[in-house]
Amino acid sequence: RRVAYVDESERGSRVLLAGTVIVGDDAPAVRQVMLSARPAGVAVLHFHDLTDGEKRRALKVLREGTAEIDIRATVYVRKRPEGESGLAARWLLMQQIVVDCQTYGIHELVIERPGAEIDRHDARAIQQARARRPDRRLIYSHGTKSEPVLWIPDALAWAVGRGGEWTQHVPDWVGVKHL
């Protein structure tokens, strides 16, 4: 069963959704890698809350710890045109993630729970995108910040969104798609 884990980041006029897929049965190993990426005393790895040094270390642990694991990720980026809301941009990005999941045989989408209003918004976007290809089954759920695999798209969306030197720390199994 192939699962995509999704989280978001916003930076200025850009909205980013990152999706991570562990291709094999290595989710337990990936969870251990991410647990080891946490700074001492930190229960949940959330890039917004880390120092730059902690971010560099976490990205290094992610890059090195997954070197032998078949893992893939895409960071979907939308630069909002004048007048487009963050929710409208998220809608477009979420629909593209659903299309890509259906195209590549992903069976499940786990999205970090952002809050009830956005949960409902995501549900409508996903249902609309799934309706275009009803022959492709895709279920979705909202995960919590305590799921270590969800820390990966959080880190990737943050690093790609920040740009500059931070893109050097992103693993080579990450692609970027601009919408």
Closest Cα to residue 62, out of 88, 41, 42, 36?
A: 36
CA distance 177 to 77: 6
CA distance 33 to 154: 15
CA angle 112, 110, 92 (to 5 degrees): 80
Residue ranges of alpha helices (H) inside 104-179 are 116-131, 151-162
* Average pLDDT, rounded, for the chain: 93
Q: Hey, what are 178's tokens?
A: 């601009």
Check pLDDT > 90 for residue 35.
yes
**Cβ neighbourhood burial of 173 (10 Å; 0-12, 13-18, 19+):** middle
Is the pTM above the cut of 0.85?
yes
Closest Cα to residue 73, out of 139, 130, 16, 1?
A: 16
Read off the pLDDT of residues 41-95 as tens digits, 9 standing for 90 and up: 999 999 999 999 999 999 999 999 999 999 999 999 999 999 999 999 999 999 9
CB 35 within 8 A of CB 148: yes
User: Within a 10 A sphere around the Cβ of 124, how many other Cβ atoms?
Assistant: 11
In the sheet that holds 139-143, the strands lie side by side as: 139-143, 108-112, 3-11, 14-22, 71-79, 174-178
Write the CB contacts of 141 (distance below 8 Å, at least 6 apart in sequence). Answer: 108, 109, 110, 111
Check pLDDT > 80 for residue 135.
no
Strands (E), the chain: 3-11, 14-22, 71-79, 108-112, 139-143, 174-178
**Cβ neighbourhood burial of 18 (10 Å; 0-12, 13-18, 19+):** buried
Residue 137: what pLDDT? 81
CB 158 within 8 A of CB 9: yes
